[in-house]
C-alpha cells in the first residue's frame, strides 16, 4: 500500500526525499519574497495557529509567530503555565479543544509521546517544535542553510560534536531520507538512541559513524555542528556533564583540524566557553546566525506544505 501522506510534521523521515527537497526549495522561494519586502503574499490569511510551549524558547517562538504573521495568519502563544498539558488537562483534550478554534498547532514538549498524542487527537496539522527526542524544524533550517552556503546537502560530511541528543536524532532521520556522511562524536555513554541510529543505517543511503574521537572525526567536514551539553530538562546535570564532556568543546583549533571548507553550525542557544568557544562562533566560517534566521523560512515552507498551500 502507498505510504499515507501525514497531516503533521513530526519527524523528517515521515517524508520522502522529493518532499523534503520540495519544502526546502519552497523555503528559498518564499524567503526571497519576504526578504524583498513584498507583503502581498498572504497564503495563510484568516488562519490561526496555537503554539504550545512546555519549555522556554526564543527562536522557535519568534520564528513561528513572525513567519505565520508574515504569511497572513495569526499565532497564539501558550506558555508553560497556560495549558500545563498533561497536568491541568489531558493532552488528548487539549488536542481536540484547540482543533475547534485553530487551523494548526505547533508544540514544544518534553516527552515525545506528548507530540504523538497531540497529533493523534487533533483534527488539524501538528508541527513538532522540539521534543526530548527530536527537533525536525531545526534540521530543516540547517539543511536550508547548507543549500545556501555549500550548494548541496547530499553527500556532505556533517560532524556533530557533543551530546547525542534530539538534534542528533533529527540528523539521523534526515540521513535516512537523503545521502549524508553523518558523524556523531560524543563522550562514552552519551551516544544517540540506538534504534534511531539503526533507522539511519538500515535506510542504506548514508554513511553513519558514532565515535568518541572528535579530532579524527572532524577531518574534511563540510559542517562541524554542536549544541548544548545539557538540554532543556537536564539542567540539573549541567555541572556533571561539564566534567564528562571535557575535551569536546568546539574551538578554533578543532575547526582548523576540520579543514578550510568546514562551516560551524549551532542550533543555539549557545553556552560560549562550554560546548563552543566565543572565537569559533565569531569566526568568518561560522554560519550560526543565517542558520537561526532560516528557522523562519524553513518553517514557513513546512506550514505551506501541511496546508497544501
Check: CB of residue 75 under 8 Å from CB of residue 103.
no
Could you say which of 21, 150, 244, 268 contacts ligand CP (CB under 6 A)? 268
How many alpha carbons lie under 13 Å from residue 136 in its C-beta half-sphere?
24
Please identify, using beta-carbon distances, which residue of 103 and 163 lies nearer to ligand NVA: 163
DSSP 262: P
Q: Report the distance separating Cα 164 and Cα 151, nearest Å.
A: 27
Q: Determine if 5 is a binding residue for ligand CP (CB under 6 A).
A: no
Which one of 14, 50, 52, 60 is in contact with ligand CP (CB under 6 A)? 60
Lay out the site mask for ligand CP across 18-57 (x = CB under 6 A, - = otherwise).
---------------------------------------x
Q: Would you put residue 228 in left (φ > 0), alpha (ψ -120 to 50) or beta?
A: beta
Is the separation of the CB atoms in 159 and 138 below 8 Å?
no
Catalytic residues: 267
User: Cα dihedral sign for 161, 163, 167, 169?
Assistant: positive
- Considering the complex, state which of residue 33 and residue 232 has its C-beta at the smaller distance from ligand NVA: 232
Q: How far is the CB of 256 from ligand CP (least distance, A)?
A: 26
Binding mask of the shown chain, residues 138 to 167, with x at each position contacting ligand CP by CB under 6 A: x-----------------------------
Task: Considering the complex, state which of residue 99 and residue 166 has its C-beta at the smaller distance from ligand NVA.
Answer: 166
Site for ligand NVA, rule CB under 6 A = 130, 165-167, 227-228, 231-232, 267
Q: How far is the CB of 107 from ligand CP (least distance, A)?
A: 12
Per CB under 6 A, the list member of 50, 130, 153, 185 interacting with ligand CP is: 130
Q: How far is the CB of 55 from ligand CP (least distance, A)?
A: 7
Helix 166-175 vs helix 194-202: angle between axes, to the nearest 10 degrees? 20
Taking a C-beta distance cutoff of 8 angstroms, is the pair 232, 220 a contact? no
Cβ-based nearer residue to ligand CP, 165 or 277? 165
- 58 makes contact, choosing from ligand CP, ligand NVA, none, with CB < 5 to 8 Å by partner type, with ligand CP
Cβ of residue 162: shortest distance to ligand NVA, in angstroms?
9
Written as nine digits, the cell of 290 is 543565517
Nearest-CB residue to ligand NVA?
231
281 binding partner (options ligand CP, ligand NVA, none; Cβ < 5 to 8 Å by kind): none
By beta-carbon proximity to ligand CP, the closer residue of 57 and 134 is 57
251 closest CA partner among 162, 150, 132: 162
Q: Which residue has the cell 523560512?
A: 297
Q: How many residues does the chain have?
A: 309
Tell me how far apart the alpha carbons of residues 63 and 28 are, in angstroms, rounded to a whole number: 16
Instruction: Tell the smallest beta-carbon distance from residue 170 to ligand CP (Å).
Output: 11
Torsion of CA 237, 238, 241, 247, to 10 degrees: 180
Backbone angles phi, psi at 293, to 5 degrees: -60, -35
The nearer residue to ligand NVA, 91 or 166, going by C-beta atoms, is 166
Least separation in angstroms between CB 205 and ligand NVA: 25
Strand-by-strand arrangement of the 181-185 sheet: 207-211, 181-185, 157-161, 223-226, 263-266
Residues that bind ligand CP (CB under 6 A): 57-60, 130, 138, 267-269
Amino acid at each position: 500500500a502507498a505510504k499515507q501522506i501525514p497531516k503533521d510534521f513530526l519527524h523528517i523521515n515521515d517524508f520522502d526525499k522529493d518532499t523534503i527537497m520540495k519544502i526546502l526549495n519552497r523555503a528559498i522561494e518564499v524567503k526571497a519574497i519576504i526578504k524583498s519586502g513584498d507583503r502581498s503574499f498572504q497564503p495563510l490569511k484568516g488562519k490561526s495557529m496555537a503554539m504550545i510551549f512546555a519549555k522556554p524558547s526564543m527562536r522557535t517562538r519568534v520564528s513561528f509567530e513572525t513567519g505565520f504573521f508574515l504569511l497572513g495568519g495569526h499565532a497564539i502563544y501558550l506558555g508553560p503555565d497556560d495549558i500545563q498539558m498533561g497536568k491541568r488537562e489531558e493532552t488528548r483534550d487539549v488536542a481536540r479543544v484547540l482543533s475547534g478554534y485553530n487551523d494548526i498547532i505547533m508544540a514544544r514538549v518534553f516527552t515525545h509521546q506528548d507530540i504523538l498524542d497531540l497529533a493523534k487527537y487533533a483534527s488539524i496539522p501538528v508541527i513538532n517544535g522540539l521534543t526530548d527526542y527530536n527537533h525536525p524544524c531545526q534540521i530543516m533550517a540547517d539543511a536550508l542553510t547548507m543549500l545556501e552556503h555549500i550548494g548541496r546537502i547530499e553527500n556532505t560530511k556533517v560532524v556533530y560534536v557533543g551530546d547525542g541528543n534530539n538534534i542528533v536524532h533529527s540528523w539521523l532521520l534526515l540521513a535516512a531520507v537523503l545521502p549524508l556522511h553523518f558523524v556523531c562524536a560524543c563522550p562514552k555513554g552519551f551516544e544517540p538512541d540506538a534504534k534511531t541510529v539503526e533507522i539511519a543505517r538500515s535506510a542504506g543511503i548514508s554513511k553513519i559513524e558514532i565515535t568518541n574521537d572528535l579530532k579524527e572525526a572532524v577531518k574534511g567536514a563540510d559542517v562541524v555542528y554542536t549544541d548544548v551539553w545539557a538540554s532543556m530538562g537536564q539542567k540539573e546535570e549541567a555541572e556533571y556533564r561539564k566534567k564528562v564532556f571535557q575535551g569536546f568543546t568546539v574551538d578554533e583549533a578543532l575547526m582548523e583540524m576540520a579543514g578550510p571548507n568546514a562551516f560551524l553550525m549551532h542550533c543555539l542557544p549557545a553556552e560560549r566557553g562550554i560546548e563552543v568557544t566565543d572565537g569559533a562562533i565569531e569566526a568568518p566560517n561560522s554560519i550560526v546566525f543565517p542558520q537561526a534566521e532560516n528557522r523562519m523560512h524553513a518553517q514557513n515552507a513546512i506550514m505551506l506544505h501541511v496546508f497544501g498551500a
